[in-house]
Copies of this chain bind each other. A is one copy, B any other.
Amino acid sequence: MYKNVFALILFLTFSGSLCLAQQQKVIEDFKPSAVNQEGKQFPQVNSEGRVRVQISAPEALKVQLDIGAVKYDLVKDEKGVWTGESAPQDEGFHYYQLNIDGASVPDPNSLYFYGASRWGSGIEIPAKDQDFYAVKNVPHGQVREQIYFSKTNNTTRRCFIYTPPGYDKDTKTRYPVLYLQHGGGENETGWSAQGKAGLIMDNLIAEGKAKPFIIVMDNGSWTMARPPAGERPAAGTWPPQGWADGFMNTLLKDIIPMIDANFRTLADQKNRAMAGLSMGGMQTRVITLANPDVFSHVGMFSGGSISTEDVEKAPGFKEKVKLLFVSYGSREIENPRRGFGGDPKENTDKLKALGMNTHFYVSPQTAHEWQSWRRSLYQFAPLLFKN
């Protein structure tokens, strides 16, 4: 009996140590993240994709790294510097923050990005395919910040416009346009900063894989694109009401006319595309279903899909839309979001069977995050404006 208890204690102690050893087995090949502030050595990432942060907080009682919805305790050294690391993260970009004695704050060492409805820290886990968005010595387009007055919203707004390399050189060429939307809690800076849309296009164009086109990145947030109360369409009006309408009005009445008036666009349906991620994909669905005379190419990244029923209720959509591209991160497909008109692959395949030019793409080993959307743009852009 005593022997058994002793053995049990030994077993528990041993397995406890094993567990501890497993938790602490961290490969010591950390390198500073690519989106650190200039000259900052932390945060760092190792070959497993663990994130290690460091901050001086001599009087703090508890400091945590908060990434991927998990909080990791940091450890304080004798100088009051706290250090610690996360479990391995997926390849690509992630938002994170620090918690210092209950205060959620940005890490003072990282660059800042707008997501989760706030400017906060970001980190890059080097991806095996990161070459497609690397800064290379190729001709670079410009990302232009444009302030403009919106009659729909009765206010000045801001958007970013990517113009392809050579746009200013040959002033006779006109270009197709992609209207490209961010997700919920993000804004007009997202596609250019964390999405690396400009670099993806520069590289695709340099390799001859995509036609040069203009990309317009505006703010589709409900709070930023809400029409004045008197001008909101009544409930029950087609197209479907809600969060998409404010932006639809702004896009159709203000943004597209402003872009066509100020840039050398090919200002017709066959040269106009819309795409978006997450909430931006849902907006793309509502807006393009209601306006097949305006857009010919449609992209929805982690933002639902379009069903045969949708198409039946949208006169002209099936005939006039030349490309429907639907994509997800693989970790989303493992746990699919069926809330927006059924299974996205099944929906997309059904439309292909009906004769539409549809594409379904799954980003390997990524979730509802920017690496899925960078890859989606990289897959989508070469398909645009080919017909």
Q: Which residues of A contact B (CB under 8 A)?
A: 37-39, 55-63, 80, 98, 100-106, 108, 111-112, 117-120, 135-137, 140, 142-149, 156, 161, 168-169, 171, 187, 192, 198, 202, 221, 223-224, 262-264
Asked if A168 and B103 make an inter-chain contact with CB atoms under 8 angstroms apart, the answer reads: no
Cβ 8 A contact of A104, one of B108, B144, B168: B108
Measured in the bound complex, the distance between the Cα atoms of B63 and A218 in whole Å is: 37
What's the nearest-Cβ distance from chain B to residue A134, in Å?
Answer: 10
Contact of A143 among B63, B145, B169 (CB under 8 A): B145
Q: Tell me how many chains of this kind the complex includes.
A: 2
CA distance A248 to B145 in the complex (A): 28
Identify which of B57, B137, B146 contacts A100 (C-beta below 8 A).
B57
- In the assembled complex, 21 residue pairs joining A and B whose CB atoms fall closer than 8 Å, in A order, are A38-B221, A38-B223, A38-B224, A39-B223, A56-B102, A56-B104, A57-B102, A58-B102, A60-B102, A100-B101, A100-B103, A101-B101, A104-B108, A105-B106, A106-B112, A111-B119, A135-B156, A137-B149, A140-B147, A142-B145, A145-B192
Q: How far is the CB of A36 from chain B (nearest CB, A)?
A: 10
Q: Which residue of B lies closest to A202 (CB)?
A: B147
Closest Cβ neighbor of A172 among chain B residues: B171
- What's the minimum C-beta distance from A232 to chain B, rounded to whole angstroms? 20
Whether the pair B61, A61 counts as a contact (CB closer than 8 A) is yes
CB distance from A221 to the nearest CB of B (A): 8
Do A101 and B60 touch across chains, with their CB atoms under 8 A apart?
A: yes
Say how far A284's CB is from chain B's closest CB, in angstroms.
Answer: 23
Among A104, A108, A161, the one with the most B-chain Cβ atoms within 10 Å of its Cβ is A108
Chain B residues closer than 8 Å to A198, beta-carbon distance? 145, 147
Q: Which chain B residue has the least Cβ–Cβ distance from A142?
A: B144
Tell me how far the C-beta of A279 lies from the nearest C-beta in chain B, rounded to whole angstroms: 15
Contacts of A148 in B (CB 8 A): 140
Q: Are A108 and B108 in contact (CB under 8 A)?
A: no
The listed residue with most B CB atoms (<10 A of its CB), out of A63, A149, A202, A221, is A149
State which of B55, B58, B103 has its C-beta within 8 Å of the C-beta of A57: B103
